[in-house]
Structure 1
Amino acid sequence: MKKILYITNGINGSGGLERVLSIKTTVLSAQFGYEVHILVLNEAWRNPFYAFAPGVRMHTISVSGNPLQYIKQYRNGIKAIVQEVQPDVISVCDDGLKGFFVPQILRHSTIPVIYERHASVLIDQQQGLKAKVMQGLMKRLAGGFDAFVVLTQNNLNEWPVNNNLKVIPNPLTFYPEQVSDTLAPKLIAVGSHSYNKGYDLLLQVWKGLQDIFPEWELHIYGRIDNAQTYPVMAKALGVANTVHFHEPDPEIMLRYQESSIMVLPSRSEGFGMVLIEAMACGLPCVSFDCPSGPRDIIAHGEDGFLVPPGNVGEMTERLKELMADGKLRKEMGQLARKQVQRFLPERVIGQWDRLFKQLIK
């Protein structure tokens, strides 16, 4: 039985990386026969938001203190766990800088090391010079991995041309038998409350729709920031009565099934897991054509709409079109469900199995 060791920060959050890792590790162990290990920091495997298969083995290292102490503990901890587990392949799932140094930490090892990039480099677009320096260093270090895996064809353009670059999309979280009837007057958006997710733009869009469709509601699911930025903004814009903010919901599939349209106002995405989840539940999606992901998922005008990034006026018009036409919603939602089958886990995880075997061989 071949062993895989995943190195990440933690698996107890509600983000896309944790969700994808729970699916991949479950399928790899249950259907493909791998012995799966996950290494986290500071015991961040306890009380996971998503379910992990009982056979997946957890490891942790403690890191703290000043940067030098932290780096030393990180380096020594990884070496110790690798020595203990003796994996056949290692996959690093860490969108921060430190994960890029794993090949250097293990430079005397013959174990192949993969890097999985779950975010666009544009996610740090607000952070200025520091982010640019970090991105430059990441790009220099990217060639040190045996394989560097991104989620979309568009993501390839963000990294230097190396023969180690691969594209493997995220797998679907679910593909339920019961789908939305697209009749309920509800829009849904899913994602944490960050600038990158574009909820400020979405609230402007909603302000232009609320009076035209007074019976409709917008439901936003995602971790709310301490400052309550978007609930406060909703009040200032006069839309708080029809916009409802919710914390992350482990039963998000049910929330899609209760809705009729999915909207993604992001400024950038790593992939757009929420799009394929909504489509699996029979929802048409309206998304900004941001880098990266939506254009690899949505067939514009067929199963949803792509809108030029940041174009509030056009997103308003596209949503208006769907909200006013129940037949169009249903037709687009049905096609979305059919076309999203290419992301079924058995199809996507098979690509990982082939990559692992290639590198181990």
Structure 2
Amino acid sequence: MKALKVVFLLHNVYGVGGTIRTTLNLASALSERHDVTIVSLMRHREWPRFEVDPRVRLVPLVDIRAGSADTLDPAFAEPAEVFPSAERRHHQYTRLHDERVAAYLRRCDADVVVGTRPGINVYLARFGPRRALLVGQEHLRHDAHSKRLRAQLARHYRDLDALVTTTEADAEVYRRRMPLPGVRILSIPNMVPRPHVLPSDGTAKVVAAAGRLVPGKRFDLLVAAFATVAERHPDWRLRIYGGGQQKEPLERAVEELGLRGHVELMGVRSPIEPEFAQASVVASASDAESFGMTLVEAMRCGVPVVSTDCPLGPAEIISDGHDGRLVPTGDEAALAKALLELIEDAPRRRAMGAAALESARRYDPEPIAARHELLFAELRSTRRRRSWRRVVPARARRALRRLRARGGGSAAVPARSASGSAGPDRTPREARTPVATSSN
């Protein structure tokens, strides 16, 4: 495959979070063969918190640091009009963001532009350069979006070339519930590089867990389940890594259950792999996961994971009984039982850890990057056919096929050509919808 110019649009590369890590990982892997740029729509500090591959170019669009010239721009004081109003981050976006993104994309000469969250995908659909392939990534589940946001997204996602989810289960939900003619809907999991730590030897009497301390992660359920573990194995410890709004309620639960000294809230750790490598089991009690980065990170450290079989990621990551355990969502007793099984059976625990280490190789950078490259090649080769599906209603397509089957010839169909030029009756992407429509 020839070298491409690839641009990622990211909310804020200077922050922390799973989408930032996965984007940096993918950008680094693609930079082996391609010219890669990350455009950060926000900048709130001087340097990114995560390491950035020196081959990857960083372009910040709006500097939100106090006193910066951008914060003094009148447009910075006005709410965004293009970024969808139902998107969770809408309050962080301004008219200045609308203007900067539009200006950048209009002059962008990339071959591929990738959006990394719903609102940014709307920017991409509205302003993306016509010659480029436009790929929207969804790092959250379809069902995690409000009905209002899904309606807003459906109007714009039809102008993308592809929509990429992190799980096949979520891709299937999009295919069923958000029909997008001409848009390739598929799943590609996040890549998780091999950590720079030795794998766990499975002997430490530690169960680890990590994530944001928010209700949906159900650390309260995990703490309650660990009370059963501590009763039978008081020498084992549960270490929870992360920060968030549930810290104080969790601290109270630890006290009320008499688990002080058995359960420890460790705070935020980044990277998390050195902590996982010091554990023998990793646990996740989430009600929902769009992917499950911490599950793969634990497996990469040779640690088996006990996870709830929640929608959508865990079942595509863990093979129950082989490299980890899956238990019903919200079932405290089942979670405690699975933890006890691994705690009380050291040979099985270590065998599962070895299997987890092997299974996690499918998230290596090389095969995941190759899947993206294959997608780019496929999108380029199918561009005209997909454009036809996009602009011609299904009923008309069926009538055309019947006409051709009878030998009636073919009809010309407007399409975005492989070189990126529009047909004579196509308007530029950004001209299809007024920029000032706040409901977008």
Amino acid at match of 1:263: A
Amino acid at match of 1:87: A
Give % identity: 26
Distance 1:264 1:122, change over 3 A: farther
The equivalent of 1:127 in structure 2 is: none
Q: Give a deviation string over 1:97-122, Cα, whole Å, max 9, x none.
A: x2242244226733221111112234
Distance 1:67 1:240, change over 3 A: farther
Checking the alignment, whether the CA contact within 8 Å between 1:20 and 1:173 is kept in structure 2 is: no
Matched, 1:99 2:120: yes
Q: How much does 1:277 deviate?
A: 1.4
Checking the alignment, whether the CA contact within 8 Å between 2:191 and 2:365 is kept in structure 1 is: yes
The equivalent of 1:76 in structure 2 is: 99
Q: How much does 1:231 deviate?
A: 2.4
Q: Which runs of 5+ in 1 are unaligned?
A: 125-130
The equivalent of 1:35 in structure 2 is: 35
Checking the alignment, whether the CA contact within 8 Å between 2:77 and 2:94 is kept in structure 1 is: no
Checking the alignment, whether the CA contact within 8 Å between 1:219 and 1:244 is kept in structure 2 is: yes
The equivalent of 2:77 in structure 1 is: 65
Moved more, 186-195 or 244-253: 244-253
Matched, 1:113 2:115: no
Distance 1:212 1:23, change over 3 A: same
Separation in structure 2 between the aligned mates of residue 177 and residue 227 of structure 1, nearest angstrom: 28
Q: How does 1:190-229 map to 2 (within 5 A)?
A: 190-225=210-245, 228-229=248-249
Amino acid at match of 1:101: V
The two structures have a TM-score, normalised by structure 1, of 0.90
Checking the alignment, whether the CA contact within 8 Å between 2:213 and 2:247 is kept in structure 1 is: no
Separation in structure 1 between the aligned mates of residue 358 and residue 327 of structure 2, nearest angstrom: 22
Largest Rg, 1 or 2: 2
The equivalent of 2:296 in structure 1 is: 276
Checking the alignment, whether the CA contact within 8 Å between 1:282 and 1:337 is kept in structure 2 is: yes
The equivalent of 1:19 in structure 2 is: 21
Amino acid at match of 2:23: L
Checking the alignment, whether the CA contact within 8 Å between 2:168 and 2:186 is kept in structure 1 is: no
Distance 1:239 1:143, change over 3 A: farther
Checking the alignment, whether the CA contact within 8 Å between 1:75 and 1:105 is kept in structure 2 is: no
Q: How much does 1:309 deviate?
A: 1.1
The equivalent of 1:86 in structure 2 is: 109
Q: Give a deviation string over 1:168-219, Cα, whole Å, max 9, x none.
A: 1111232557211111000111111111211111111112222111111111
Amino acid at match of 1:49: R
Checking the alignment, whether the CA contact within 8 Å between 2:288 and 2:311 is kept in structure 1 is: yes
Amino acid at match of 2:142: V
Separation in structure 2 between the aligned mates of residue 141 and residue 56 of structure 1, nearest angstrom: 29
Q: Which runs of 5+ in 2 are unaligned?
A: 65-75, 82-92, 382-440
Q: How does 1:1-361 map to 2 (within 5 A)?
A: 1-29=3-31, 31=32, 33-44=33-44, 46-62=46-62, 64-68=76-80, 70-94=93-117, 96=118, 98-106=119-127, 109-123=130-144, 131-159=146-174, 160-162=178-180, 163-175=183-195, 178-225=198-245, 228-360=248-380
Q: What is the aligned length?
A: 351
Separation in structure 1 between the aligned mates of residue 59 and residue 323 of structure 2, nearest angstrom: 42
Distance 1:53 1:198, change over 3 A: same
Separation in structure 2 between the aligned mates of residue 233 and residue 5 of structure 1, nearest angstrom: 46
Secondary structure class of the residue paired with 1:228: helix
Separation in structure 1 between the aligned mates of residue 239 and residue 142 of structure 2, nearest angstrom: 28
Checking the alignment, whether the CA contact within 8 Å between 2:122 and 2:153 is kept in structure 1 is: no
Q: How much does 1:55 deviate?
A: 2.1
Q: How much does 1:318 deviate?
A: 0.6
Separation in structure 2 between the aligned mates of residue 325 and residue 247 of structure 1, nearest angstrom: 29
> How well do the aligned residues superpose, as a CA RMSD in angstroms?
2.2
Separation in structure 1 between the aligned mates of residue 377 and residue 342 of structure 2, nearest angstrom: 45
Checking the alignment, whether the CA contact within 8 Å between 1:151 and 1:169 is kept in structure 2 is: yes
Q: Give a deviation string over 1:237-284, Cα, whole Å, max 9, x none.
A: 322322112233224221111100011111111111111111111111
Q: How much does 1:3 deviate?
A: 1.1
Separation in structure 2 between the aligned mates of residue 227 and residue 277 of structure 1, nearest angstrom: 23
Checking the alignment, whether the CA contact within 8 Å between 1:123 and 1:196 is kept in structure 2 is: no
Amino acid at match of 2:161: D
Separation in structure 1 between the aligned mates of residue 356 and residue 80 of structure 2, nearest angstrom: 49
The equivalent of 1:128 in structure 2 is: none
Amino acid at match of 2:365: P
Distance 1:103 1:26, change over 3 A: closer
